[in-house]
């Protein structure tokens, strides 16, 4: 039995040891919300009494920023790399212990964590992220660090999914495995011809294992072989079990039954706090929100070259430019927004066609539309501080953090009623407004017309100062800290440990 499950002498509980495995972590490497979660959840678990460490690939930004690195073990040649070592250091700022895999041949290169400078997937991603999972499994088996081994290995998204298969393929491993789906749309699919690189029994290459429509699926590895599966909101947990949102894996998810849980993400409320934010034009809280937002709005308008005397709402949009995020709906609804005297500021990059469309909108509506096609964390804070409304019109949204950041800064979110958006925003209806519960505006259909309707409702509330102020204060009073989710994860970890002890998973049959 695991020491964490068995407990210790009275008054001397044994901390639950948890290893988080991920490809990115803020502020070292970030392409989306995954990095924020991996940065914030471990400190929250530590504050709740757990003993937590991270494992990440040794990408240049990781290896250069991790503090006090020391070599734990040389692993020799692995997955096509001639030299692989396991290093241990600490995260800057939080001090969370972090292992990183030093494998120059696989990780030390330019471009992004998954793609080269031209936006093409790295041709050896199977080896790069199989190595991440392989090291996680061997750490979990107690093989690599004589001073520490986890009770629970928590893998995040497809990049770490193979860790669950490697643990399942070695039944003596006592550590339980938990797998979190941050976005089911990205599945880590590879040719079946590359399966031998993984070093697993051929029985894993079956429909009961990693095979997915003639390919190898790292996402399926996590879904099939983790002791427990989580998603980043209860709404998304329900959605991915449906044909519409399951991306072909809905049957696998339904097959896991009650093993699948939805735990809403938190945010770092010390980092996203308008009262202490050093980068905004004027700090404010719920009592001073009117003056503070007005100063930040003027500063944001000036930064984007917009008219500071516009009568309507300033709408902020901070997003990766992808079809998932519903940016085409914003373009369709833009004329209606401008007709109501509104403005739009966009920060983000991605799909070249969407980038071009927003550039054209900026040129056509100078002084009313501002666009910066960059990812800039500091600018994101300024957008939240200065915007009246923040648009999140996603076609699907596992959790979403933007709508939480927006509410913290008194920017009312306009969101589609999907996934975590529906879990974290209270739509402004006559009933919720009367009860002082409303924190934003929702729409249902994935259409520009439906988004227009939500924007019109928001504009109608904007001209009612008392109601607008009431909604701002209610939104700012929402708590999105990691304290509650951390406790839910700790309970789930204990459940996974018990399940692992009772019925260890093994190699699939057939």
- The mean per-residue pLDDT over the stretch 109-126 comes to 94
| pLDDT single digits (tens) 275-299 | 999 999 999 999 999 999 999 999 9
Q: What is the pLDDT of residue 378?
A: 96
Is the pLDDT assigned to residue 8 strictly greater than 50?
no
Which residues are CB-contacts of 60 (< 8 A; sequence separation ≥ 6)?
107, 108, 109
**154: three-class secondary structure by DSSP:** strand
Q: What is the pLDDT of residue 297?
A: 98
pLDDT surpasses 60 at 29:
yes
The string of pLDDT tens digits covering residues 231-250 is 999 999 999 999 999 999 99
pLDDT at residue 490 tops 70: yes
∠168-156-192 over CA atoms, to 5°?
60
Task: Tally the residues of the chain.
Answer: 510
For residues 201 and 166, the answer to whether their CB atoms sit within 8 Å is: no
Confidence of residue 11 (pLDDT cuts 50, 70, 90): low
- Give the list of residues 6+ apart from residue 290 with CB closer than 8 angstroms, or none: 469
pLDDT at position 503 is: 72
* Portion of the chain with pLDDT greater than 70, in percent: 96
421-467 pLDDT, tens per residue?
999 999 999 999 999 999 999 999 999 999 999 999 999 999 999 99
Q: With cut-offs at 50, 70 and 90, classify the pLDDT of residue 5.
A: very low
Nearest Cα to Cα of residue 312 among 278, 333, 338: 338
Q: Are 212 and 189 in contact (CB under 8 A)?
A: yes
Q: What pLDDT band is residue 502 in, cutting at 50, 70 and 90?
A: confident
Tens-place pLDDT, residues 361-389: 999 999 999 999 998 999 999 999 999 99
CA angle 313, 315, 316 (to 5 degrees): 150
pLDDT over 90 percentage in the chain: 93
The answer to whether 457 touches 430, Cβ cutoff 8 Å, is: no
Sheet of 152-156: strand order equals 67-78, 81-90, 97-102, 51-57, 17-21, 152-156, 176-181, 228-231, 260-262
- State the average pLDDT over residues 342-351: 96
pLDDT in tens, 389-421: 999 999 999 999 999 999 999 999 999 999 999
pLDDT recorded at residue 505: 54
Task: Name the pLDDT band for 510 (thresholds 50, 70, 90).
Answer: very low
Question: CB of 56 within 8 A of CB of 62?
Answer: yes
Q: What pLDDT score does 506 carry?
A: 56
Q: Which of 153, 50, 63 is nearest to 113 (CA)?
A: 63
Q: Give the DSSP letter of residue 395.
A: S
Instruction: Return the closest-CA partner of residue 267 out of 394, 392, 404.
Output: 404
- Helix ranges restricted to H, 372-418: 377-386, 402-408
Confidence of residue 119 (pLDDT cuts 50, 70, 90): confident
Nearest-angstrom CA–CA distance, 247 and 268 = 30
| Gap between the Cα atoms of 320 and 306, Å rounded | 22
pLDDT at 13 (0 to 100):
73
For 196, counting Cβ atoms within 10 Å of its Cβ (0-12 exposed, 13-18 middle, 19+ buried), the class is exposed
Compute the mean pLDDT over every residue in the chain, rounded to the nearest whole number.
95
Q: Per DSSP, what are the bridge partners of residue 88?
A: 70, 99
For the chain, the straight-line distance linking the first and the last C-alpha, in angstroms and rounded, comes to 30
pLDDT at 228 over 50: yes
For the question of whether the overall pTM of this predicted structure is more than 0.85, the answer is: yes
pLDDT of residue 3: 42
Q: What is the mean pLDDT of residues 310-326?
A: 95
Measure the CA–CA gap between 127 and 198, rounded to whole angstroms: 8
């Amino acid at each position: 039995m695991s020491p964490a499950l068995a407990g210790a002498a009275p008054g001397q509980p044994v901390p639950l040891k948890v290893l988080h495995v991920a490809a990115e972590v803020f502020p070292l490497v970030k392409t989306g919300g995954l990095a924020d979660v991996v940065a914030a959840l471990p400190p929250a678990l530590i504050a709740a009494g757990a003993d937590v460490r991270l494992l990440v690939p040794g990408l240049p930004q990781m290896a250069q920023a991790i503090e006090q690195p020391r070599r734990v073990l040389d692993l020799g040649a692995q997955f096509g790399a001639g030299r692989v070592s396991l290093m241990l250091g600490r995260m800057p700022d939080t001090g969370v212990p972090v292992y990183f895999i030093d494998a120059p041949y696989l990780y030390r290169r330019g471009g992004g964590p998954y793609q080269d400078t031209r936006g093409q997937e790295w041709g050896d991603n199977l080896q790069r992220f199989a190595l991440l999972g392989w090291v996680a499994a061997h750490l979990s088996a107690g093989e690599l660090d004589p001073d520490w081994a986890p009770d629970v290995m928590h893998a995040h998204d497809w990049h770490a999914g193979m860790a669950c298969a490697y643990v399942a393929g070695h039944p003596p491993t006592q550590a339980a495995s938990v797998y979190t789906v941050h976005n089911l749309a990205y599945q880590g699919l590879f040719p079946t011809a590359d399966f031998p690189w993984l070093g697993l029994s051929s029985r894993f290459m079956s429909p009961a294992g990693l095979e997915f429509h003639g390919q190898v699926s790292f996402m399926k590895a996590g879904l099939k072989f983790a002791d427990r599966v989580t998603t980043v909101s209860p709404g998304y947990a329900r959605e991915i079990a449906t044909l519409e949102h399951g991306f072909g894996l809905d049957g696998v998810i339904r097959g896991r039954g009650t093993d699948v849980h939805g735990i809403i993400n938190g945010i770092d409320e010390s980092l996203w706090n308008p009262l202490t934010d050093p980068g905004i034009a004027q700090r404010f809280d719920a009592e001073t929100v009117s003056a503070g937002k007005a100063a930040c709005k003027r500063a944001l308008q000036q930064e984007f070259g917009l008219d500071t005397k516009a009568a309507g709402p300033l709408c902020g949009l901070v997003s990766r430019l992808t079809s998932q995020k519903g940016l085409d709906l914003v373009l369709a609804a833009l004329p209606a927004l401008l007709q109501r005297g509104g403005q739009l500021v966009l920060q983000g990059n991605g799909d070249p066609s969407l980038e071009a469309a927003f550039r054209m909108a900026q040129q056509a509506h100078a002084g009313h539309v501002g666009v910066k096609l960059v990812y800039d964390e500091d600018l994101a804070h300024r957008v939240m501080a200065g915007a009246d409304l923040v648009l999140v019109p996603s076609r699907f949204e596992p959790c979403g953090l933007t709508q939480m950041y927006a509410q913290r800064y008194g920017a009312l979110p306009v969101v589609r009623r999907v996934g975590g958006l529906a879990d974290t925003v209270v739509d402004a209806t006559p009933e919720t407004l009367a009860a002082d519960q409303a924190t934003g505006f929702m729409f249902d259909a994935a259409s520009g017309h439906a988004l227009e309707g939500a924007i019109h409702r928001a504009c109608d509330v904007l001209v009612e100062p008392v109601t607008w102020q009431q909604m701002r204060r209610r939104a700012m009073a929402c708590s999105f800290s990691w304290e509650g989710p951390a406790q839910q994860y700790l309970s789930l970890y204990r459940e996974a440990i018990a399940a692992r002890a009772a019925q260890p998973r093994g190699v699939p049959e057939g």
